[in-house]
Structure 1
Amino acid sequence: MTETQRKIGFVVCLVTIVLAVLDMQIVSAATVPIVRDLDPAHGIDKIPWLVSAFALASAAMLPLYGKLCDVLGPKRVFTGAIATFLLGSALCGAAQSMTQLIAARAIQGLGGGGLMSVTMVVIAHLKGPEEKSAGKGTNVGGLVAGGAMAIGPWIGGLLADHASWRWIFYVNLPVGLAVLAASAFALKLPEQHVRRPIDYPGAALAAAFSSALLLVTDWGGKQYAWSSPVVVGLMVAAAGALALFLWRQTRAPEPVLPLSLFRVRELRLGFAIQAIMGGAMMCAIYYVLIYLQVARGIGSSSAGLYLLPMAVGMSATGLLSGPLTARGWTARTFTISGTATTALAFVLLATTTGPDTSLWLIRAELLLVGAGFGQLLGQLILLVQDAAPRHQLGVATTSVRFFQTLGTALGASVFGTVLARLYAAHGPGGDISALTRMTGAAHADGIQAFIDATQVVFWGGAGLMTLAALLALRLPRTRGSQGPAPVRESEPVAA
């Protein structure tokens, strides 16, 4: 590729990441107008599926996307994922019922699973040797993803308030078509001409496991009790699918997630830290927003603005990553510093959050949270890509996203259960939603019980990031990132 093509390729990848992350977050702020338009009588009961359908389809496709990249080459998979995403977006915008919208969100999620993960594979192929050593591109991609995650709900609220909710989906079409056109011109990537089998049974088992697990985390303690037959059945199904998947990976000639990857210390620690980070990031974003709305009476659109300092913190550490890398910082250094910084930020949130806490202090703490996560986003992917064998680059990269998705789902479920049960044990009314109907002393007691429960959640986030910091300390010391492992003579070589 020419230098111009490479630069266009980087821009294409960054825009694709923004599309992927925004569509995971943006719908949450537009649920009310969607329900009001499509099904005002019963649509409220179907709102969770607007998010779940996308997340389930996206997570189910991740292991397969990685293997397809290694077998077919990343460009074909990249363009296929974008085309599927755009088809789903068009169907979402044209939906005339909640059922149609949910089905279209699932189609959108099938493509969305590749937008984030496959894009990181493409970035790895676009980088030159000097950029691999500096982590350029991968780190920027991670920061763009984090910033989009932080401002997604705010953008969704603006579109819902000042335009039709359908534009949340229609806006993807011109941007996505431009991405397809630019990628056709700019992306000249290796393709595999030696056909290798794809472990479709393994991919199906991975999809069954992740779908069952995500449904457990989404339904458990909310739609159904944890001891209900539905949730228990899903737990059994997830455990069975996982056992069969692991068995399949030991026997498939081309496993969709080779267990040999876990023999590499950087990979297994990187996967674990990424999963922990997913749960902690959900804790920071979701429960700070709930605190602002429930305890401080701030509207949803205004509460979303409080995440901007978090995005600023991520961007600031992104700007500093270059000079720090030049001074000898490695992916390991960033990971240790990032996990420690985020753990400190959660400790501050846990100890200072109260009914009258200065909102500027909350902003400062979110800035620190962003500074911590900004050191991790991209660097963990770089760490994994550097350690992965070249012929397994796609599988290793998409696995990072897969474990983050599972960690996010588990974190949201566990923290949500902790918050609800602590409030039920110590607060009036038994349910947090009852706070909106309380007045006087009962309301004050309820707010205090909610804040006490929220502080425990933040302590949980601090504990998770402390564990991540301890794992980061076990990463092997290296001189720096040297790019993906070289291809051995016996490995398939891209043309």
Structure 2
Amino acid sequence: MTVSPPSPPISRASVGLRSERGPVLLAVMLSTGLVAIDATILATAVPAVVSDLGGFTQFPWLFSVYLLAQAVSVPIYGKLADLFGRKPVMLFGIALFVLGSLLCGIAWGMGALIAFRAIQGLGAGAVQPVGMTIVGDIYSTAERAKVQGYIASVWAASSLVGPTLGGVFADYLSWRWIFFVNLPIGIAATWALWRSFRESVERRRHRIDYAGAALLTTGGVLLLLALLEGGVRWAWSSPTSVLLFAAAAVLLVAFVLVERRAAEPVLPLWVFGNRVLNAANAGALVVGVLMLGLSSYVPLFAQGVLGTGAVVAGFALAAMTIGWPIAASTAGRFYLTVGFRATMLMGAAFGVLGSGILLTVDGDSTVWHLAAACFVIGIGLGFVSSPAVVAAQSSVTWQFRGVATGATMFARSVGSSVGVAVFGAIANAVVAARLGGATPDLERLPRGVLEPAVHTVFVASAVVAVALLAAGLLMPRHVVEPSSDHS
């Protein structure tokens, strides 16, 4: 049974889009590029950052705090975009990201850099979901798959360019240029969006759900913090982990109770009763688990077990990010003819096949073998993620498209955190068993210990890939578009 969102009065938002779609799409792609490059560009420059600022034990927080801030703010921005329009929220997100980049570039210590990375993450939390919502507004269902292929190609290119660019800046200029380079890109995106994107939203007073936003943010931060740092900074069974999970559970239960009474809830509870959105969110969650989980361990296997260099190891992972946009850009041909469900199931089949190929990789395999498995998995993720987002956007009217898109992006962020945590726990458990309880850094392990540890992660990814089939089966055979869409 699919629960539909409540039908708001027409006076709530009367939308008329008079956009030059090409420049608007360019602005969305530039904005997406900001977030995508920033996800990888810093990794290769960490030694230079630590050498300059110190704080070696703190540098993992450069990544964790960014992910936390981005993930918990996504659903809030999605709701704000529905209330006040896409343009102001998107411009605010770009401005906040650029401000955070500028501050990161002039950071005087590791603590300051971590704080400014949080500001970047809060900006990124608006850019990705609102950008996808804008695409859903100005392109039809038939057009969205090709456009999503363009956006996916930005992620693919960024995954290749980011680490290389970060290394070049760190070696030949300064690591600070990793952040300064965002300024001209952000300004160009702002100019294109300001000049070309027009929307007419009828203004009226809104009752902002401050309590819901605060509970969701705090509960989400504690949950993601427990997932990201559990098994790393403290044991899963430690009082710290138990306290974090318990506090997160209490806050999220309180959030549900508040949302039931809120006049304009930040994350309406009907989202969890809508079968299309449940299927889309389930698919996004599993995609997040596989994407970031494998991103952490495929290069490690290539370098530590196969004996390749960092560049070749990056190539193996890049195969996955190349397969993704290929599938995303062609998915429209399939879901327009056979439907969203069949297309997601086809993607799930590719995901399971690729994971099966990954299981055959061992210490005697070539890097091409590893790359082939990643490429097939990437095709599967593309055929799941693109139809999932389009189906979610197509199942609601303009007034709820931001919430629907934000919920899907939030599910992927949570999946990414879960993937890193679960796969890390599995790898560490194997290492501890082989070394009698000791769990040194995986990068320093001998091949005889590292190979079975990472192979166990590959087994776990194959099990997770089967969940893609469940997400596809959950999607209804037919997704009915609401007739009251004003876009």
* Aligned pairs for 1:359-378 within 5 A: 359-378=367-386
Corresponding residue for 1:385? 393
Residue 413 of structure 1 is aligned with which of 405, 421, 429? Answer: 421
Residue 172 of structure 1 is aligned with which of 179, 182, 192? Answer: 182
Letter in 1 for 2:26: V
Residue 23 of structure 1 is aligned with which of 38, 44, 49? Answer: 38
Mapped contact 2:300–2:443 kept (Cα < 8 A): no
Corresponding residue for 1:73? 85
How far residue 268 of structure 1 moved from its aligned partner, in angstroms, is 0.9
> In structure 2, what is the Cα distance between the partners aligned to 1:77 and 1:390?
15
Letter in 1 for 2:173: A
Mapped contact 1:346–1:369 kept (Cα < 8 A): yes
Deviations 1:322-380 (A, max 9, x none): 54456x14332221111221121112112x22222111111211211221122223221
Across the two proteins, how many residue pairs are aligned to each other? 472
> In structure 1, what is the Cα distance between the partners aligned to 2:149 and 2:299?
26
Letter in 2 for 1:465: A
How far residue 408 of structure 1 moved from its aligned partner, in angstroms, is 0.7
Give SS of 2:42's match. helix
RMSD of equivalent CA atoms: 2.3
Mapped contact 1:349–1:365 kept (Cα < 8 A): yes
Corresponding residue for 1:464? 464
Contiguous gaps of at least 5 residues in structure 1: 437-442
How far residue 435 of structure 1 moved from its aligned partner, in angstroms, is 7.2
> In structure 1, what is the Cα distance between the partners aligned to 2:133 and 2:460?
33
Mapped contact 1:317–1:374 kept (Cα < 8 A): yes
Deviations 1:111-146 (A, max 9, x none): 1111111111111112146525xx342343245335
How far residue 278 of structure 1 moved from its aligned partner, in angstroms, is 0.3
Corresponding residue for 1:300? 310
How far residue 432 of structure 1 moved from its aligned partner, in angstroms, is 4.4
Mapped contact 1:146–1:374 kept (Cα < 8 A): no
* Aligned pairs for 1:89-238 within 5 A: 89-128=101-140, 131=143, 135-145=145-155, 147-149=157-159, 152-238=162-248
- For the structure 1 residues 139 and 191, does the alpha-carbon distance in structure 2 shift closer, same or farther, using more than 3 Å as the test? farther
Mapped contact 1:24–1:54 kept (Cα < 8 A): no
Mapped contact 2:137–2:398 kept (Cα < 8 A): no
How far residue 216 of structure 1 moved from its aligned partner, in angstroms, is 0.6
Corresponding residue for 2:354? 345
> In structure 2, what is the Cα distance between the partners aligned to 1:130 and 1:434?
45
Residue 289 of structure 1 is aligned with which of 285, 294, 299? Answer: 299
How far residue 301 of structure 1 moved from its aligned partner, in angstroms, is 4.2
Give SS of 1:376's match. helix
- For the structure 1 residues 129 and 213, does the alpha-carbon distance in structure 2 shift closer, same or farther, using more than 3 Å as the test? closer
How far residue 52 of structure 1 moved from its aligned partner, in angstroms, is 1.3
> In structure 2, what is the Cα distance between the partners aligned to 1:485 and 1:434?
51
> In structure 1, what is the Cα distance between the partners aligned to 2:387 and 2:166?
28
Mapped contact 1:146–1:377 kept (Cα < 8 A): no
- For the structure 1 residues 181 and 353, does the alpha-carbon distance in structure 2 shift closer, same or farther, using more than 3 Å as the test? same
> In structure 1, what is the Cα distance between the partners aligned to 2:331 and 2:62?
36
> In structure 1, what is the Cα distance between the partners aligned to 2:430 and 2:396?
43
Give SS of 1:396's match. helix
Corresponding residue for 1:439? none
> In structure 2, what is the Cα distance between the partners aligned to 1:192 and 1:451?
59
Deviations 1:368-415 (A, max 9, x none): 122112222322110111112431111110111111111110111011
> In structure 2, what is the Cα distance between the partners aligned to 1:247 and 1:385?
26
- For the structure 1 residues 339 and 162, does the alpha-carbon distance in structure 2 shift closer, same or farther, using more than 3 Å as the test? farther
How far residue 10 of structure 1 moved from its aligned partner, in angstroms, is 0.7
Residue 250 of structure 1 is aligned with which of 256, 260, 269? Answer: 260
- For the structure 1 residues 190 and 147, does the alpha-carbon distance in structure 2 shift closer, same or farther, using more than 3 Å as the test? farther
The range that moved more, 375-384 or 8-17, is: 375-384
Corresponding residue for 2:450? 450
Give SS of 2:482's match. coil
Corresponding residue for 2:482? 485
* Aligned pairs for 1:323-338 within 5 A: 323-324=333-334, 328-338=337-347
2:28 aligned with 1:13, yes or no? yes
Mapped contact 2:72–2:216 kept (Cα < 8 A): yes
Mapped contact 2:105–2:179 kept (Cα < 8 A): yes
2:72 aligned with 1:60, yes or no? yes
Task: Give the fraction of aligned pairs with identical amino acids, expressed as a percent.
Answer: 33
Letter in 2 for 1:422: V
Mapped contact 1:62–1:401 kept (Cα < 8 A): yes
- For the structure 1 residues 152 and 383, does the alpha-carbon distance in structure 2 shift closer, same or farther, using more than 3 Å as the test? farther
TM-score w.r.t. the length of structure 2 is 0.91
Mapped contact 1:391–1:487 kept (Cα < 8 A): no
Letter in 1 for 2:191: A
Letter in 2 for 1:447: R
How far residue 35 of structure 1 moved from its aligned partner, in angstroms, is 0.4
- For the structure 1 residues 120 and 190, does the alpha-carbon distance in structure 2 shift closer, same or farther, using more than 3 Å as the test? farther
Deviations 1:146-197 (A, max 9, x none): 5534654344334333432111111100010011111111111232412321
How far residue 274 of structure 1 moved from its aligned partner, in angstroms, is 0.7
- For the structure 1 residues 427 and 349, does the alpha-carbon distance in structure 2 shift closer, same or farther, using more than 3 Å as the test? farther
Contiguous gaps of at least 5 residues in structure 2: 1-15
2:256 aligned with 1:241, yes or no? no
TM-score w.r.t. the length of structure 1 is 0.89
> In structure 2, what is the Cα distance between the partners aligned to 1:401 and 1:325?
20
How far residue 29 of structure 1 moved from its aligned partner, in angstroms, is 2.1
> In structure 2, what is the Cα distance between the partners aligned to 1:366 and 1:338?
14
Corresponding residue for 2:288? 278
> In structure 2, what is the Cα distance between the partners aligned to 1:265 and 1:79?
32
2:403 aligned with 1:395, yes or no? yes
> In structure 2, what is the Cα distance between the partners aligned to 1:407 and 1:199?
26
> In structure 1, what is the Cα distance between the partners aligned to 2:285 and 2:461?
13
Give SS of 2:368's match. helix
Mapped contact 2:324–2:381 kept (Cα < 8 A): yes
- For the structure 1 residues 429 and 129, does the alpha-carbon distance in structure 2 shift closer, same or farther, using more than 3 Å as the test? closer
